[in-house]
Structure 1
Amino acid sequence: MDETQGDPTRVEATVPIRETPLWAVLERRLFSVLDTAWREFAATYCGPDGRLTYGGRMHHRDGVDDFYEPFFNWPVLYRLGGADDLLPAVKEHWAGVTAQMTEFGFVRDEYEVGYDWFHQGESLNFFYAICAADPDDSDFRERALRFARLYTDPARGNYDPDARIIVAPHTGSGGPRPGLGTEWIEYSATQAAMKPYGLPLDDLPGITRWDDLYAQENARRMGDAMQDRLGRGDTAVNLAATSLVTNAWLYDHAPELGDWVVEYVGAWRERAAANGGLIPDNVGPSGVVGELHGGHWYGGHYGWAWPHGLHSVESAAMIAAVNETLVTGGTAGLDLARAPLDTVIARSVVRADAATAGSMGWGWAQKMDVAPGVPVRLVPYRHGSDGWFDLHPVPLVYPVWLWWLTSEAGDRKRLESLEEDAGFDWRDTKWFQDKEEQGHEAPWVSFLLGRNPRYPEDALGLALGQVARRLALMRETPYGPPDDDIHWWQRLNPVVTEVLTQLVTGAPPALYNGGLALARVTFGDALRGRPGLPDDVAALVREADADGVRLELVNLDPAARREVVVQAGAFGEDRIDRAVFDQRADDRPGDSRGYLVPDPRTRQAEAPVGSSRLLIALPPLHRISLRLEITRRAQTPAHTSFTRPTPRRDT
């Protein structure tokens, strides 16, 4: 709890359950199924020390992320209320995979030797989630601080404080690694998987179309140019490194860590301002935008021109803006992430070929079940020497994050405007799952806005179906992958947490390429002193707006009392000012001679809180509905423990 504020306000639930909510039963069923599923995955695919069973090779510089990713959301499940033994299990898997990657030569001193931040971010989701789940673990605290110093300490070579740049696209515990490695010494058209993304650089004489790369001389020239121009200097996706530093800052608020985040994000904001507000994707070794690309603001590695454009640049900009918001408590810096969205939305067109218009559209059309011929608003993801190109639907996750962070009218208007010509009914819960544990933003937002009341039941049914499918796939393939398919385990990870994150914490899941997980509310078990919902307790955030949240808690246990700590914010950064809740107006259980099951009469009660935490006591088979009035970002965020008091400073 909060040492500066004493014990938290305590509220006793007094309303007995009359009609057991279906969402509560499904939610607890999902927890139960998930706690079986992760054990089966570990028994099927992991060695005794937690590593993944694998007899193949590692290829070039790529691959570390693919070994951590199968476990990335396991600590998320623990923090939500998964089994007690899940926490030591996730640490064992992290240590096992780290040892495994060290043996392959890809990890040194427990950290990736050097690779791009599009993939490092995917690796580190697992690490960040462990730190959030158990901030009392001194070993992970030491690692967090040590990893952050790889970028904040100029002596490590990854960061140039004078130019305010991360000096190369590939960096890590080995310092900067010039070039892009051996994978693209030659960039040949025989790499058929890369054909949808086109030419990495579009300004080389004599190479104007993909088929020109069949000539070995051209393939070598392209490879040489990529190594030289894409393999040096800073690139926008490096902004994901701010999560590594912010995660360390959340332990002790060391000024040098917070200052680094503000400095580095601020440098990119200045570059965006000089580019009309739109973030460029490249900075040369001397700190000049376009230095390696003929003065152009586009062309950097994982940038606007190649391979994914908005998909990678907007993700990094949003991650950085969120981290700066955590460190400073202000949201003005979110314009870094707004501008790319508004830029492409202003160039939107409505077309009926969403599945084929762009390099990645087929996957979106499959997930959203959008047939050919359906009009869909598409925006350009990429920009090259001929202007904007590569049309796709707007990725909803980013406008959702902006609205979720601010509740501002402009961010809500942007989001709601995208529902027109979306190509599907936003209220429909689509039956798909991908590795990022995202994609169901539309029906969830519709629920929060009061237009999709069935979403909790529909979404929890979906989640149970997702687990069932993954378990079936696992049982059909109880063996490891060939050495050309190290994405094998990601596709089989049976732990699904997107829906639980939305419904229990009132938040979107963490941005997949390296974002920290935020929340409107998080929970702790007061009687057992650990994070997450107690056994048999279900939670549902029904509303989340600028002034607070509306929350329901249900204790389904017929005999045992539960005590739930409700914390505002993922890191206690928000303050609960007042709680308004229902209480039973008549304490009498009724007359046993009556035939009817009475509906208990309730009245509204309220309690001042004035801190980040509130304690809810739930007798057996009782429920409570609360409206928590909350001031967002009123306190300094910190990794918060539910086992001991955590000091909090006013911002």
Structure 2
Amino acid sequence: MSSGLPARIPTVSLDVNTPVSPPYWALLERELLRAQTDACQEFFARYFDERGYLRCVPRWGGDDGPDDAAENLLNWTLLHALGAPDVILDLYRVGWEGHLRQYTEAKTVEVPLARDGMYYREFPVMFDWFHHGEGFSAFFLQGLSTPDDRLLRQRMERYAGFYMGEDPQAPNYDPQHRIIRSLFNGSRGPLLRKATGLDWAGDPIEVEGRFHLGHGERSYAEMVAHFKDYNDVVGDHPLNLAATTLGVLAYTLTGDEKYRRWALDYLDAWVERTRANGGIIPTNIGLDGTIGGACDGKWYGGVYGWGFTVEVPQTGELAHRPAFQSRTHYAFANGLLLTGDMGYIQVWREMYDRVNAHARQEDGRILYPHMYGDQGWYDYTPEPFQPGAREVYYWTMDPADRERVADDPWFAFLEGRRTDYPIEALQRDLAAVHDKVVGMRHDTSTPDTRLSDDMNHLNPATTAALTELMLGGLPTGRVGYPLHCRLRYFDPARRRAGLPEDVAALVDGMTADTTSVQLVNTSQTAARTVIVQGGAYGEHQIERVQVEGQGGFEVGHRAFVVHLAPGCGTRLTLSMHRYAHRPTMGFPWP
């Protein structure tokens, strides 16, 4: 991996003068950007006030807390980075600044953790990274559009400092044992006692007849009961690996090596623990650094851990909630992004085999375990244990990993099958935007009968299809990790991130070392220029470009320039060296 930053300005360019009729997928992409822009403006006017405060009853907790409020801006920063108009970024900024102020002012009465404010120093005072990641997902992608924003850099460095042992008010990190000391952590440090249902549920609130709770609770008592077993938070937990995203992003914004070193050192500690635990990541590390040390020696202990099965208060049924399984693989990809070392992904993928080795046969069927507790392996299902298999294949491009996601329509499209997938996916997301607008216009709630998560499903920013098709990337969702994609685009005329006006892009083929993309200028009157970059953060080297029906040329850089004449387009095949460079947020110009 290149240790320095090569010249940011691409020196190789291509002129495209071949007329093409705008393909249907290209028109759908542009329409989806336009429709979301209009819908997001309507959504903002409906649910935010002029200060950027969310029009709701602000509360603390795992049901409807600050993270849910922030999720009403989910995907907005990515939408702008894809090419949506600047109004999306402008509204996001108003909403984000309002969010930070609103939840700094909001205080609990009975919950001791947030009596002086739910946020302190513009960050949650103390909660888990499952929720931190959800709440900060939009913020974590802001740098794709505003890498030179001084306030963004200051915040990212401050937040990273909370987890690097630099901040005496936030002693979350123990550098001797290389642990984050509690599942509950934040700007006021770690919670070093058992958590209670009150800590998780928030202050008492009127429910019946006024609010509809996301977990189906019918009363405040059921809200507390939902979290009654969410107690074991002391010690480190794999969900805390999400904090490495702060190190990654602070590094990409500043180039300061200390952030990269900390993220890798903490991640490497978890690699060592996983290997010491027989190749299966433990879900509790004691304050003394021992596996299971805060859970009576049980490596599978802890809230959201391997053995975290709880009772649903409304029904009495048991529910399995090993939340680490849906997020932690992204942390190992942070290691890949910082080093180019595929060994980080190998740690997670090897765990599939370790767990599935405990499969058993019942009635002629093979069943695979997904949980582990005092009784041993349990929660056997016909589906093999393989959380994150889609992402793992995306990172490795190993045929053995492809077999785990055999039915994935996007991958089938990239392999030359499922040729209808782009139209299908874009139409699906357009329909979703339509349905959200209809839902918003039929919403009869008022701010005092509205919780922070009530509007989440109406947020019109719908970027999954565009991320796959335009960027050849993994949809970011609300996991709180960096963007992973083959290509990104920049508009040098407007000096901003995203595709220029009228331009559409379709990544229609990917292998471990090639990427094929169609670029089309749908304008019949205006020429457009686009910079094509390898990777979200310039991490991929573009070695050579082959122009369909013509010759090829060498690039040897993170990026190159394409000049598209009016109504013209082309298909390019890029030979690439993935993860060749250290990541940077910097734009490809001075």
Q: TM (normalized to structure 1)?
A: 0.79
Question: What secondary structure does 2:388 align onto?
Answer: helix
Counterpart of 1:122, as a letter, is E
Provide, for residues 458-489 of structure 1, a one-character-per-residue CA deviation record: whole Å limited to 9, x for no partner.
11110110001100000000544666843212
Matched, 1:407 2:373: no
Matched, 1:389 2:378: yes
Structure 1 distance, partners of 2:555, 2:153, is 31
Provide, for residues 570-603 of structure 1, a one-character-per-residue CA deviation record: whole Å limited to 9, x for no partner.
0001111111013xxxxxxxxxxxxxxxxxxxx3
Matched, 1:334 2:345: yes
Instruction: State the percentage of identical aligned residues.
Output: 33
* Counterpart in the other structure of 2:209: none
Matched, 1:119 2:122: no
Structure with the greater alpha carbon radius of gyration? 1
* Counterpart in the other structure of 2:553: 607
Counterpart of 1:313, as a letter, is F
- Relative to 1, partners in 2 of residues 1:67 and 1:152: Cα closer, same or farther, differing over 3 Å? same
* Counterpart in the other structure of 1:621: 567
Counterpart of 1:169, as a letter, is L
Bigger mean CA deviation after superposition, 541-550 or 310-319: 310-319
* Counterpart in the other structure of 1:171: 185
Structure 2 distance, partners of 1:185, 1:331, is 39
Matched, 1:149 2:161: yes
8 Å contact 2:134–2:478 — kept in the other structure?
yes
Structure 1 distance, partners of 2:546, 2:8, is 20
Matched, 1:450 2:416: yes
* Counterpart in the other structure of 2:520: 554
Structure 2 distance, partners of 1:254, 1:185, is 36
Question: What secondary structure does 1:266 align onto?
Answer: helix
Matched, 1:10 2:5: no
* Counterpart in the other structure of 1:234: 236
8 Å contact 1:278–1:340 — kept in the other structure?
yes
How much is the aligned-residue C-alpha RMSD, in angstroms? 3.2
Matched, 1:538 2:513: no
Structure 1 distance, partners of 2:497, 2:365, is 42
Structure 1 distance, partners of 2:178, 2:425, is 44
Question: What secondary structure does 1:380 align onto?
Answer: coil
8 Å contact 1:318–1:336 — kept in the other structure?
no
Provide, for residues 273-295 of structure 1, a one-character-per-residue CA deviation record: whole Å limited to 9, x for no partner.
11111101001111111123232
Give how far 1:54 is off: 1.4
Give how far 1:162 is off: 0.7
Bigger mean CA deviation after superposition, 79-88 or 384-393: 384-393
Structure 1 distance, partners of 2:191, 2:101, is 22
* Counterpart in the other structure of 2:110: none
Counterpart of 2:133, as a letter, is G
1:483-498 pair list within 5 angstroms: 485-498=451-464
8 Å contact 1:351–1:378 — kept in the other structure?
yes
Matched, 1:523 2:489: yes
Question: What secondary structure does 1:296 align onto?
Answer: coil
Question: What secondary structure does 1:552 align onto?
Answer: strand
Give how far 1:132 is off: 2.2
Give how far 1:143 is off: 0.7
1:250-261 pair list within 5 angstroms: 250-261=252-263
Structure 2 distance, partners of 1:36, 1:133, is 20
* Counterpart in the other structure of 1:264: 266
Matched, 1:110 2:122: yes
Matched, 1:325 2:339: no
Give how far 1:515 is off: 1.4
Matched, 1:574 2:544: no
Q: 1:20 aligns with which of 2, 19, 22?
A: 22
Structure 1 distance, partners of 2:427, 2:492, is 29
Question: What secondary structure does 1:488 align onto?
Answer: coil
Q: 1:638 aligns with which of 584, 587, 590?
A: 584
Structure 2 distance, partners of 1:471, 1:395, is 38
Give how far 1:340 is off: 3.5
Counterpart of 1:400, as a letter, is R
Structure 2 distance, partners of 1:350, 1:159, is 44
User: 5+ residue gaps in structure 2?
Assistant: 107-116, 202-212, 310-318
Structure 2 distance, partners of 1:328, 1:381, is 30
Question: What secondary structure does 1:518 align onto?
Answer: coil
Structure 2 distance, partners of 1:186, 1:139, is 31
Question: What secondary structure does 1:282 align onto?
Answer: coil
Structure 1 distance, partners of 2:379, 2:449, is 32
Question: What secondary structure does 2:553 align onto?
Answer: strand
Provide, for residues 523-545 of structure 1, a one-character-per-residue CA deviation record: whole Å limited to 9, x for no partner.
01121111101111110000111
Structure 2 distance, partners of 1:122, 1:195, is 17
Question: What secondary structure does 1:283 align onto?
Answer: coil
Count residues in correspondence. 552
Give how far 1:186 is off: 11
Structure 2 distance, partners of 1:637, 1:285, is 33
8 Å contact 1:116–1:170 — kept in the other structure?
yes
Provide, for residues 382-426 of structure 1, a one-character-per-residue CA deviation record: whole Å limited to 9, x for no partner.
21112233356569871121111121233223333xxxxxxxxx3
Structure 1 distance, partners of 2:375, 2:236, is 24
- Relative to 1, partners in 2 of residues 1:70 and 1:325: Cα closer, same or farther, differing over 3 Å? same
Give how far 1:496 is off: 0.3
8 Å contact 2:413–2:419 — kept in the other structure?
yes
- Relative to 1, partners in 2 of residues 1:55 and 1:486: Cα closer, same or farther, differing over 3 Å? closer
8 Å contact 2:75–2:477 — kept in the other structure?
no
Give how far 1:58 is off: 3.8
Counterpart of 1:506, as a letter, is G
1:185-196 pair list within 5 angstroms: none
Structure 1 distance, partners of 2:355, 2:490, is 41
User: 5+ residue gaps in structure 1?
Assistant: 188-192, 197-212, 353-374, 417-425, 427-441, 583-602, 646-651
* Counterpart in the other structure of 2:531: 565
1:368-379 pair list within 5 angstroms: 379=368
8 Å contact 2:546–2:573 — kept in the other structure?
yes
Counterpart of 2:132, as a letter, is Q
* Counterpart in the other structure of 1:588: none
Matched, 1:131 2:143: yes
8 Å contact 2:304–2:321 — kept in the other structure?
no
Question: What secondary structure does 2:563 align onto?
Answer: strand
Give how far 1:226 is off: 5.6
- Relative to 1, partners in 2 of residues 1:7 and 1:194: Cα closer, same or farther, differing over 3 Å? closer
8 Å contact 1:554–1:622 — kept in the other structure?
yes
- Relative to 1, partners in 2 of residues 1:380 and 1:605: Cα closer, same or farther, differing over 3 Å? same
8 Å contact 2:352–2:385 — kept in the other structure?
no
Counterpart of 2:524, as a letter, is P
Give how far 1:10 is off: 0.7
Q: 2:67 aligns with which of 62, 65, 73?
A: 65
- Relative to 1, partners in 2 of residues 1:60 and 1:130: Cα closer, same or farther, differing over 3 Å? closer
- Relative to 1, partners in 2 of residues 1:226 and 1:126: Cα closer, same or farther, differing over 3 Å? closer
Counterpart of 1:325, as a letter, is L
Counterpart of 1:576, as a letter, is I
Give how far 1:141 is off: 0.8
Structure 2 distance, partners of 1:407, 1:305, is 32
Structure 2 distance, partners of 1:526, 1:376, is 58
- Relative to 1, partners in 2 of residues 1:350 and 1:36: Cα closer, same or farther, differing over 3 Å? farther
Give how far 1:51 is off: 1.9
8 Å contact 1:61–1:115 — kept in the other structure?
no
Give how far 1:137 is off: 0.7
8 Å contact 2:144–2:497 — kept in the other structure?
no
Give how far 1:77 is off: 0.3
